[in-house]
Structure formats: C-alpha cells, structure tokens
C-alpha cells in the first residue's frame, strides 16, 4: 500500500524548524508494509493544504499528517480535510468536556478558541492525546485513511505508538504488527548484516538493520492475528537473532549506552572516573546523560595541556618520552585519574581532534584506555571527520570500550 506524509506548518517553510517528524514516521512505515512515496511540507494556507490533501487522496492509500491541529486561526488541518471531503466540523460535547478538564487539571481556564480542537467530521474519529490539548483525527473515506497528529514531536510519537500504529496494523494486516529493537555497538552496518545473515530473509518476523548515531539498530517485526500472537512469534525469533549478535548487543528499545554502562557500574558498586584530552568533556557529558549518574560517576577531568596531565599525576618522564598524544600517555592518564578520584574504573582519551596536525599527532587519531582496578585495555582509532563529530564519536567509542570490558569481566 502507498503511504504519503504531509508535514504541516509555515515554520517548516521558513526554515525555523527541521522536519524530524517525517523522518520518524518514515522509519515506522516499512514494518507496516507501507511504501512511502511522497513527503511534502505545506504551509498554513487553506487552499494549498486542501490541494495537497486532494492530490494525496488520489495517489496514496494512507495519508499521515503532523501539525496544524492547534487552536489558532493558522491551524488549518481539520478545516482542509473537511473541505476536501465536503463535510462540516461539529463540536463534540464529550470532547469539549475533556478539553475543559485538561485545562482545569492544570489550574487554567480554556480559551474559547480552543473549542475548535473538540470538533469532528462524520468521517473522522478521535485519536486521544493524553499529553496535549490537540486530539488527532482518524479519517476513513472511500477506502483511504487519513491519520492527523499534532506537530509537537513527543505528542506525535505517543499518538503514533498508542493509536495510529495499532490501527494501521489492524487495517493492513487484519491483525497486529509488533516490533522490537535490538541495539548494537562496536560493529558497522554491513558487518551486522553479514552476521545476522539468512535471518534477514525471514518473512515473518522480518529483520531490518538501521545505522544510527548510537550504533546499529535491528528491528524485528512480526505480524499475527493478535498482539500476543505476534509477541509469541518474536519470543521465538528474538533469541536466534540475539545469539548471532551477542558480542555487540547492549540493549533494547529505549536503552541508551550511558544507561546500560551506568547500570553495570551501579550493580557492581564500581566508581568511575574519566580523564579526557581529545574528547574535551564530551565523554563526561555522555556518561552524565544517564539519570542518576552521580551514583557511580565520581569525577571527570578534562586535561587538555601537558601541565594539566602532569597536575593529575602523569609523570613528566612519560610526557617527555611519548608526548601528549600516545598510548603510553593515555595509560598513565587513566591510572592517574583512577588514583586521584579513588575510583575503581577510569577511562582516558588523548588524540587530535583537528584542525591542524603536528608530527606525532595526525589529525583524527584517538587513543582510549580503560583501566579496571589496574588492568588496562587500549584502542587506537583514526577518524576522518569534523572536530565536533570526532568528539562525539570518540566519546561513544570510549564508552563502548568501557562497556566491552565490564561485559567481559561479568
């Protein structure tokens, strides 16, 4: 079936925001068996919006929209749908009561213009919005579907997951379509595909790989008459996938690498210190992305200069002999940080984020050392990228090395 996305809002056409909603939705459609052929950004203009809906109804089976459901005169998604279908929006008393209650619970009075968020047309039913004032519309007309959601990303995500995805799955497959995500780190996309091998040819469940900023995601998707039957299919399939990727598998669904590493440290009562030269604070910042990081993260040092490394406890002899960017220096830095912070585990980085190289410091080189109770592992990588991206990927790779060591010692 053909799907089409309409991203609605003049702020998109003025370049004030990037259309991340379309990207989120584009990733959600293939597991449903929907082929996405068109994404359009349209401004808050009734004529152009109506034309976009008219065209979409001609060429696509499923139309998914975000934006234009707010209470102001500029919010015209409902009006455009009503216009194209020749139906009249009418206030729904129950919806209006819900809306007034939403404001009451927050100690506010509903502005009267918000009443338009309580309207429906005969072809539409409501998609509840538990986290905002704009309910969505689910419209069925002549065998086609329009699903309209708010533009605020977290409202849209929730409405997609709880309302639109299950309805589309029922409609398309006559049953349920359920997905699970497995997250890998330390392996590239083509290697990951090689490792899962023949499992990518499985028809139900299916297996797809995605290269993301935090590693490779595998999406396992099963179709069945009911959600629990689909889950049962996944319960059989998932262990087969896990077996192949165990070496790189760090989490599922909403897990993040900082959270997973943090949980391992917390569980074993290990305290962590970081000592960064090349990554300049990005590693500490990544570690502290996990809520509750203060349970195990005792100290982070950013030691950019030779003096700062020395002040932390790296000997002048090592700096003299190896320079500021070297495996031996990184080893000394990790040991010094662990000792200074009275931590059990330390991660250190040295390197050259660029721009500009010197003899022994080629641009893009990164040394990482993980020190667990004095046992050290080292890695050396060359990146060919921007300064910002070097720091981001370097910090992630350093955290990966720490995760691998903690996992190995488990």
- Each as own residue / partner, the long-range contacts of residues 388-391 (CB below 8 Å, 24 or more positions apart, any chain) are 390/278, 390/351, 390/353, 390/354, 390/364, 390/366, 391/278, 391/279, 391/280, 391/282, 391/353
200 binds a second copy (CB under 8 A): no
282 binds a second copy (CB under 8 A): yes
Using CB under 8 A, which of the segments 96-104, 143-151, 368-376, 386-394 binds a second copy? 386-394
Q: 133 and 71 in contact (C-beta within 8 Å)? A: yes
Can you read off the two tokens belonging to residue 389? Answer: 């991206």
Contact pick of 145, 196, 230, 303 for a second copy (by CB under 8 A): 303
In the stretch 249-278, what mask flags binding to a second copy with x, by CB under 8 A? -------------------------x-x--
43 binds a second copy (CB under 8 A): yes
Contact pick of 128, 174, 291, 374 for a second copy (by CB under 8 A): 291
In the stretch 339-378, what mask flags binding to a second copy with x, by CB under 8 A? -xx-----------xxxx----------------------
Q: 284 and 307 in contact (C-beta within 8 Å)? A: no
Residue placing its CB nearer to a second copy in the complex, 146 or 284: 284
14 binds a second copy (CB under 8 A): yes
In sequence order, which residues have a C-beta less than 8 Å from that of residue 26 and are 6 or more positions away? 5, 36, 39
Contact pick of 53, 250, 297, 400 for a second copy (by CB under 8 A): 297
Residue placing its CB nearer to a second copy in the complex, 116 or 367: 367
31 binds a second copy (CB under 8 A): no
Site size for a second copy (CB under 8 A): 67
- By C-alpha distance, which of 139, 105, 113 is closest to 125? 139
16 binds a second copy (CB under 8 A): yes
46 binds a second copy (CB under 8 A): no
Contact pick of 288, 379, 381, 385 for a second copy (by CB under 8 A): 288
- Shortest Cβ distance from residue 117 to a second copy (Å)? 23
Where does this chain bind a second copy (CB under 8 A)?
A: 12-20, 22-30, 36-43, 45, 48, 210-211, 274, 276, 279-289, 291, 293-294, 297-305, 307-308, 311, 340-341, 353-356, 387-388, 391
């Amino acid at each position: 079936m053909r799907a089409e996305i309409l991203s609605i809002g003049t702020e998109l056409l003025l370049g004030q925001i990037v259309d991340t909603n379309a990207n989120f939705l584009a990733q959600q459609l293939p597991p449903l068996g929907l082929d996405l052929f068109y994404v359009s950004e349209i401004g808050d203009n009734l004529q152009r919006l109506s034309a976009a809906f008219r065209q979409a109804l001609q060429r696509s089976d499923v139309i998914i929209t975000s934006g234009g459901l707010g209470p102001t005169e500029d919010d015209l998604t409902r009006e455009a749908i009503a216009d194209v279908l020749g139906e009249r929006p009418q206030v729904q008393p129950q919806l209006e009561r819900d809306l007034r209650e939403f404001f009451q619970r927050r100690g506010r009075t509903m502005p009267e213009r918000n009443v338009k968020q309580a309207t429906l047309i005969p072809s539409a039913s409501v998609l509840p919005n538990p986290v905002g004032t704009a309910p969505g519309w689910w419209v069925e007309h002549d065998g086609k579907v329009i699903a309209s959601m708010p533009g605020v990303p977290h409202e849209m995500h929730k409405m997609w997951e709880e309302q639109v995805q299950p309805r589309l799955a029922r409609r398309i497959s006559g049953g349920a379509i359920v997905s699970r995500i497995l997250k890998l780190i330390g392996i590239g996309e083509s290697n990951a595909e090689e490792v899962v091998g023949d499992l990518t040819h499985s028809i139900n469940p299916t297996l797809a790989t995605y290269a993301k900023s935090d590693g490779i995601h595998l999406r396992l998707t099963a179709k069945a008459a009911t959600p629990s039957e689909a889950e049962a299919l996944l319960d059989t399939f998932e262990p087969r996938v896990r077996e192949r990727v165990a070496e790189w598998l760090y989490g599922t669904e909403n897990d993040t690498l900082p959270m997973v590493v943090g949980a391992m440290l917390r569980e074993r009562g290990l305290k962590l210190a970081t000592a960064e030269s090349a990554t300049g604070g990005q590693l500490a910042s990544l570690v502290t992305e996990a809520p509750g990081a203060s349970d195990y993260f005792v100290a982070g040092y950013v030691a950019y200069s030779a003096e700062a490394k020395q002040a932390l406890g790296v000997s002048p002899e090592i700096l003299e002999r190896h320079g500021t960017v070297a495996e031996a220096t990184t080893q000394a830095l990790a040991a010094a940080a662990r000792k200074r912070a009275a931590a059990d585990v330390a991660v250190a980085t040295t390197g050259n984020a660029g721009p500009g190289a010197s003899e022994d410091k080629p641009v893009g080189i990164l040394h990482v050392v993980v020190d667990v109770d004095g046992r050290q592992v080292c890695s050396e990588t060359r990146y060919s990228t921007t300064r910002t991206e070097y720091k981001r990927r370097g910090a992630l790779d350093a955290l990966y090395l720490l995760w691998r060591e903690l996992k190995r010692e488990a």
